[in-house]
Chains A and B, each alone.
Chain A
Amino acid sequence: MDFDLTEEQRLLKESVDGLLADAYDFDARKKYMKEKGGWSKAIWDRLAEQGLLGLPFAEADGGFGAGAVETMIVMEAMGRALVVEPYLATVVIGGGFLRHGGSADQKAKHIPGIIDGSKTFAFAQLEKNSRYDLHDVVTTAKKKGDGWVIDGEKFVVLNGENADTLIVTARTKGGQRDKTGIGLFLVPADARGITRKGYPTQDGLHAADISFTNVEVGADAALGDPENALPLIERVADEARTAVCAEAVGAMDESLKTTVEYIKTRKQFGVAIGSFQSLQHRAADMFVALEQARSMSMFATMASDFDNARERSSAVAAAKVQVGKSLKFVGQQSIQLHGGIGMTMEAKIGHYFKRLTMIENTLGDTDYHLRRVSEGGGLLA
């Protein structure tokens, strides 16, 4: 049992923290958000230069063969800096599908572009009525010759506006909520029949609603088993949930630090408001919430090594519950303790609150995951 980082992991942490401290303060972030597509290609290239975009890929595929702990380190740092570049969509999710489900050809075709920073990905999954159920799929993929024809509509696709390649869930068989008959397809974003409507999201990222009308792709577009891709989808979704838990821990950590700093300096009644016990106790409760979330983020990260898939996903779901509860408390109280200034777009604290709030609604919220753990017989079983 060990909660320390290895020497290499410590160096990785120093390097990513260093890069972001150097290039990603709150003002710099504002500039990056105004660039084309809403994020900075220059920063993306620096991430590539430092090897961060190739981190989780096998050495045989040109990556570094890093594991879940390394992703946790990077995501936590990104949460602390509120990074808007599409690391989650491209490296964690897009890369995750290629790592766990890609054929040798698919890996060879797509992974180098992720690692060198030239290509980004988006996961087109959410539908109008699917909400958080990954198996609720209406979009269809019908066999045509060797290939497939995709029809349907996807919503709030993170990085959907900018991505070069979309990974699309589509039904090849069965009814809307059947757990089998779901396929996963690599689709060039500029394929004929695709319409993308992009927009900024509440937390300063970018997403798109995407419609697919008679979109034809080849046989090589299918990732994994086109009639039974749900296990693959769930696996990668768990990795993405684990990653956003770490991101949330980073964002909460910075929120608490910023808030404590603020109440030490803000004066009312002639004294720093941090000298008032009601505020001190609130801050202490925020610390408790943060540490509980940090523990569960680590738990989910370490659970990626569990052999038993049910235990693994129940650990991730439990982490998402704890992180969801914690982020709501830390986020809301950060605004409360800042008072009026916390309500302004100008202060950075509100931007942490907004990102945290959106993480809660990413890939299943607190209630959703609580139900999953509960229906699976609880955590002690």
Chain B
Amino acid sequence: MDLAFTKEEIAFREEVREFFRNNVPPDTRRKLQEGRHLSKDEMVTWWRILNKKGWGVSHWPKEYGGTGWTSVQSYIFNEELQSYPAPQPLAFGVSMVGPVIYTFGNEKQKKEYLPRIANVDDWWCQGFSEPGSGSDLASLKTKAERRGDKWIINGQKTWTTLAQHADMIFCLCRTDNNAKKQMGISFIVFSMKSKGVTVRPIQTIDGGHEVNEVFFDDVEVPYENLIGEENKGWDYAKFLLGNERTGIARVGVSKERLRRIRDLASKVESGGRPVIEDPAFREKLTACEIELKALELTQLRVVADEGKHGKGKPNPASSVLKIKGSEIQQTTTELLMEVIGPFAAPYDEHGDAGSNESMDWSAQIAPSYFNNRKVSIYGGSNEIQRNIISKAVLGL
């Protein structure tokens, strides 16, 4: 057992840091630090810088543009990216649909989609959840009917993140009503510009617009846009969700936020001294740092295990990552709220336009707290994660 990175790994970390220092647009970094939303332009600009460097789809197989990094290198890259902070690659393309296409798609699909995902020529969104199908995703109703060489798609998706920017959607559709619910689902991709697609924004409690409802009204999609086999979509969805085991802990994000808390808490005063000098507050902060250290170690155990024994058999500890990772992210936003106290209240109606100078430093803290309640809900709620642990790990 040894915690140290090798000399090569340390050199790699330096290379990554150096690249971020020289290439992440300063405004983009600042906005992330302040918990602000980025524009589509800002995100795409950065991802193309990353892709030009050859790091846009780093964990893909080399033949599709990946880097061939070890698990530890990938870990270092993500950790540095999150804690710099710089925008993470668009998960829907890079981590979700990309691996499904290169694993289950045909040659034509690989050639058509993969380079465009890497360069974000297409912005992808995910058509999974429906109003009646959240945790019970397999009960989904959006229907794709085959008519000649076309699919006719009708139904509704919801919680579709950043669909307002999207060019493409990957969609779970029911293609067999008579089969067991998991067996009648297909994985179909199509253009968001198709006739019959309507996107309606959902405003979340933080005032932001990240998620949407998406309606399909007799949308015509070429039959060849089916990925893999008909009615095997549920398997691909499970593959997709299981693919991103370690990134979900977002240790780097929480680290960056904890640094920001220490920084703010040494500037904001309470009782005639900086908040950081209040022992009660400091102990809460320290407790969170310790939880995060434990999570980081748990994540490293999973990473080291994958590096050594491959990704085939997940380390049981990996199921801890989502639960603890989300709880810690939420705690960090709570601590930020505590630091700024009454200055959490002013609401910047114009959001990221920064209309009010005096609230610049604090305006995003309450929204970020409200917004982060989502992290224990999405990606399989923490209650679903507990179901997984109790069944898959404990055998209950």
Instruction: Tell whether, in the assembled complex, residue A318 and residue B290 are in contact, meaning their CB atoms are under 8 Å apart.
Output: yes
Residues of chain B whose beta carbon lies under 8 Å from any beta carbon of chain A: 1-6, 9, 72, 255, 258-259, 262, 279, 282-283, 285-287, 289-295, 297-298, 300-301, 303-305, 308, 316-317, 320, 323-324, 383, 385-387, 389-391, 393-396
Q: Decide: A288 and B323 in contact? CB cutoff 8 A.
A: yes
Q: Pick 20 A–B contacts, CB within 8 A, sort by A.
A: A1-B9, A3-B305, A256-B394, A260-B395, A260-B396, A280-B387, A280-B396, A283-B390, A283-B396, A287-B316, A287-B320, A293-B294, A295-B301, A296-B294, A305-B3, A321-B290, A370-B287, A374-B283, A378-B286, A380-B258
- Do the beta carbons of A374 and B282 come within 8 Å of each other? yes
Contact residues in A for B5 (Cβ distance below 8 Å): 1
A279 to B292, CA, bound (A): 26
> For chains A and B in complex, what number of residue pairs have CB atoms within 8 angstroms?
140
Contact B320 A274 (CB under 8 A): no
Contact status B394-A292, CB under 8 Å: no
CA distance A292 to B303 in the complex (A): 15
B300 in contact with A296 (CB, 8 Å): no
- Cβ–Cβ contact A318 & B72, under 8 A: no
Contact of A373 with B290 in the complex, beta carbons under 8 Å: yes
**B1 and A4 form a contact (CB under 8 A):** yes
B-binding residues in A (CB < 8 A): 1-5, 69, 256, 260, 263-264, 274-275, 277, 279-281, 283-285, 287-288, 291-296, 298-299, 301-303, 305, 318, 321-322, 370-371, 373-374, 378-380
List A contacts of B320 (CB < 8 A).
287-288, 291-292
- Decide if A1 touches B2 in the complex (CB within 8 Å): yes
- A321 and B293 alpha carbons, distance in the complex (Å): 11
Beyond the given A291-B320, A373-B290, A378-B289, please list 7 additional residue pairs across the A-B interface where CB-CB is below 8 A. A288-B389, A292-B295, A295-B297, A298-B301, A302-B2, A370-B283, A379-B292
Whole-angstrom CA separation of A314 from B303 in the bound complex: 24
* Among A3, A274, A305, A370: residue with most chain B CB under 10 A: A3
Q: Contacting A301 at CB < 8 Å: which of B1, B292, B324, B386?
A: B1
Residue of B nearest to A323 (CB): B294
Q: A-B pairs with the 8 shortest C-beta distances?
A: A295-B297, A280-B390, A284-B389, A284-B386, A374-B286, A379-B289, A292-B294, A281-B386
Q: Are A380 and B289 in contact (CB under 8 A)?
A: yes
Q: Which chain A residues border B386 with CB–CB below 8 Å?
A: 280-281, 284-285
Which residues of the other chain, B, contact A283 by a CB distance below 8 angstroms? 389-390, 394, 396
**How far does the Cβ of A241 sit from chain B's closest Cβ, in whole Å?**
14
A40 and B298 CA atoms in complex are apart in Å by 37
Q: A287-B320, A298-B1 are in contact. Are A321 and B300 (CB under 8 A)?
A: no
Chain A residues within an 8 Å CB radius of B258: 380
